[in-house]
Structure 1
Amino acid sequence: MQPCLVDAHVHLYDRFDPRAILEAAAENVARLAGKLGLDPVPPGFLLLTRTAVERPLESVFAEMPAGWSGEQLDTPGSMRFSAPGRPDLHFVPGWQVVSLEGLEVLALGTAERPPESRPVDETLRAVRRAGGIAVLPWGIGKWCGRRASVVRGLVSGSGAGAFFLGDIAGRPGLLPRPALLGEAETRGWRVLPGTDPLPFAGEERQIARLGFQADFDPAAPVESLKDGLRALAASPHAVGRHETPGRFLMHQLALQLRKRLGGARKPSG
């Protein structure tokens, strides 16, 4: 097994520049490695959470950026990108859907898209049946009111060993960590950190800004990573940075304006 750095919540929106995606992700992976004292820099694993408005990976990189090469991996829809002097980047297929209750659900490591608008517990089980890692990510305003009760009900249930919760880089770093995340961890739930970049030009440079260290087998990179995540006894240590209050407010205003102007739907979180 070899070490790697993982971003567990990655979007590839149409406004993202393919070359900037790779260059920024490589730089951010190297930055995270520096924080952890890892030398040489290990590969990065970018776990895609594709929505209905995003193109598939092979379409995003239909024209390979100069200096980079790509090859298929052990799981359908996954690719490894390499460039001299850069850490390898493994892109892993996955989906983001919205449950009947309005909660986001991530299906990591599977090309099979879960059903939309189904009860959240049913959606989580569908992801697991498809061989994916099922994650309920925290989101701005998503765990409030009635939906908070749904999340709390899940947390107090028996899903700690089967499913995960998620944290995102867009959460303001100066504010207290959401109480439900800590409550869930005391009950055995594991929290996976990820970036969750927003659908604005330039946001591709945030990919791999927040992540965690894991291990993988180069002979079966995607499946071995998934097996390692399933075997986690506790939440991995998050490395990187969350959002500043100023940028957080700016992004929320931009998202509201985009919604009013009829932009493609992007759940905040």
Structure 2
Amino acid sequence: MIFLDAHLHFYSAYDRDSFFDAFADQAARLAPDASTCAAFVMLREAQKTLGRMLAITTRLGQRWQRAPDPAPGTCLMYDGQREILLIAARQIAARERVELLGLFTEAEIPDGLSLAETNRRLREAGALPALAWGLGKWLFPRSRAVRAMIDAAEPGSLLVCDSALRPAFWGQPRLMRRARKKGLRLLYGSDPLPRAGEEAVAGRYASLIEADLGEGDPATSLRQLLLDRSVAITPVGRRHGLPGTLARIG
């Protein structure tokens, strides 16, 4: 079993030990039998690579250290007892003001391109694209761009990523249901914001994958599992209530 936060950020405002402690504690509570605790860490336009992002946050005396990388585009963090597998991904804001995630890539793709062009460049870079849910971004005029992308997608070409920012009382959005009917897989992630204190959100809402990573490159193994529709992926944890959501987007 794999505990996977599919939408994680690590910002300079965070205390690194507190961030990884929070993630490991959430994983132990929500998935005590998980053989692997992992996360897609979103790189933004100014961030080059996952390894570089971690290197510039390294300080003397930190408990969480970086182990030898298991494979390109991955990092392994450990505190002497617990391990967290980090996998590089990109978050890109398209011209339509919809966010697209590029899983399994560090390729630099600028914000502001059309959704179609962003998707094309991600696929050319070997990424697995995922539409990120966002409050307002899946509603009103912007919902048309989301719907068009879902309608054009084939199973295995696009994933959808739910977020802890979607209020807990809010049932599954219509477009998310539409994606599921088309055979697109859903992932779940915590999506913390760039301010101090949000470290505690890491791992709050995540994906539970009913399989284990194979030998060799963990990113390759995970990608195969995400695309295998016989492997169950379910949400675990809790999304924020309405006050918590509004406080985070205000």
Query: Normalized against structure 1, the TM-score is what?
Result: 0.83
| Structure 2 portions without partners, runs of 5+ | none
| Farther off after superposition, 47-56 or 239-248 | 47-56
Q: Take 2:132 and 2:7, find their aligned partners in 1: how far apart are those partners?
A: 9
| Farther off after superposition, 96-105 or 212-221 | 212-221
Q: Which residue of the partner structure matches residue 201 of structure 1?
A: 196
The aligned runs of 1:58-77 (5 Å cut-off) are 58-63=54-59, 66-77=62-73
CA displacement at 1:126 relative to structure 2 = 1.8
Q: Is the 8 A contact 2:64 2:77 kept in 1?
A: yes
Q: Take 2:247 and 2:123, find their aligned partners in 1: how far apart are those partners?
A: 36
Q: Take 1:64 and 1:209, find their aligned partners in 2: how far apart are those partners?
A: 28
CA RMSD, Structure 1 to Structure 2 (Å): 2.1
The aligned runs of 1:183-262 (5 Å cut-off) are 183-214=178-209, 215-232=212-229, 236-253=233-250
CA displacement at 1:78 relative to structure 2 = 1.9
Count matched residues: 245
Query: Normalized against structure 2, the TM-score is what?
Result: 0.89
Q: Take 1:65 and 1:235, find their aligned partners in 2: how far apart are those partners?
A: 40
Q: Does 1:177 align with 2:177?
A: no
Instruction: Classify 1:223/1:101 alpha carbon distance in 2 versus 1 (closer, same or farther; 3 Å).
Output: same
| Farther off after superposition, 4-13 or 122-131 | 122-131
Q: Is the 8 A contact 1:46 1:91 kept in 2?
A: yes
Q: Take 2:191 and 2:56, find their aligned partners in 1: how far apart are those partners?
A: 17
* Secondary structure of 2:3's aligned partner: strand
| Structure 1 portions without partners, runs of 5+ | 254-269
Identity of aligned residues (%): 28
* Secondary structure of 2:7's aligned partner: strand
Q: Take 1:113 and 1:65, find their aligned partners in 2: how far apart are those partners?
A: 32
CA displacement at 1:134 relative to structure 2 = 0.7
Q: Is the 8 A contact 2:154 2:182 kept in 1?
A: no
- Of residues 71, 78, 83, the one that matches 1:82 is 78
Q: Is the 8 A contact 2:45 2:109 kept in 1?
A: no
* Secondary structure of 2:144's aligned partner: helix
Q: Is the 8 A contact 1:124 1:135 kept in 2?
A: no
Q: Is the 8 A contact 1:19 1:65 kept in 2?
A: no
Q: Which residue of the partner structure matches residue 46 of structure 1?
A: 39
Q: Is the 8 A contact 1:4 1:43 kept in 2?
A: yes
CA displacement at 1:244 relative to structure 2 = 1.3
Q: Which residue of the partner structure matches residue 125 of structure 1?
A: 120
